[in-house]
Amino acid sequence: MATSEVGLMLKGYGLTTAEMIYHMPDHRHVLNSFVWQDYDLAPDYPRLFDFIAYWQDAIEGPLHSVRFVHRKLIAPGEWRNVRGEFTYH
């Protein structure tokens, strides 16, 4: 059963975006980029590391580097203490 995105966020998952820089299979001196995005758990990032392992096993273009960011989308809201209210006509 597929879990909804909100369900994943409530379980602590956050949006992880990774940019893979890799060598082109036919032209090893040429670099290309691929962007991957999924919901993942910090700090272990099991889905990201599973994808990197898949890339190394199944895709011919060897990885040059990987950059990634992670953002929890559901977090405690920011609030301000309001001490008064002014009404203006």
Nearest to residue 59, comparing CAs of 21, 15, 20, 25?
25
**Domain-embedded: residue 16:** yes
**Domain-embedded: residue 88:** no
Strand extents, DSSP E, the chain: 14-23, 31-40, 63-71
**Domain-embedded: residue 89:** no
Q: Please give the average per-residue pLDDT across 11-35, as a whole number.
A: 94
Contact present, 38 and 71 (Cβ < 8 Å): no
The separation between CA 73 and the C-alpha centre of its own chain, rounded to angstroms, equals 11
Task: Share the mean pLDDT of the chain.
Answer: 87
**Domain-embedded: residue 78:** no
- What is the domain range of residue 28? 12-71
Rg over CA atoms, the chain? 20
Q: Global pTM?
A: 0.76
Least confident of 4-18, 59-73, 74-88: 74-88
Q: Can the peptide bond before residue 62 be classed as cis, meaning omega within 30 degrees of 0?
A: no
Contact present, 72 and 14 (Cβ < 8 Å): yes
Q: Kindly tell me if the per-residue pLDDT of 21 is higher than 90.
A: yes
Per-residue pLDDT reduced to its tens digit, 29-71: 999 999 999 999 999 999 999 999 999 999 999 999 999 999 9
- Confidence (pLDDT) at 1: 47
**Domain-embedded: residue 30:** yes
**Domain-embedded: residue 85:** no
**Domain-embedded: residue 64:** yes
- Confidence (pLDDT) at 9: 84
Name the one residue in this structure whose structure tokens are 């199944």. Answer: 58
- Count of domains in the chain? 1
Name the one residue in this structure whose structure tokens are 């994943």. Answer: 8
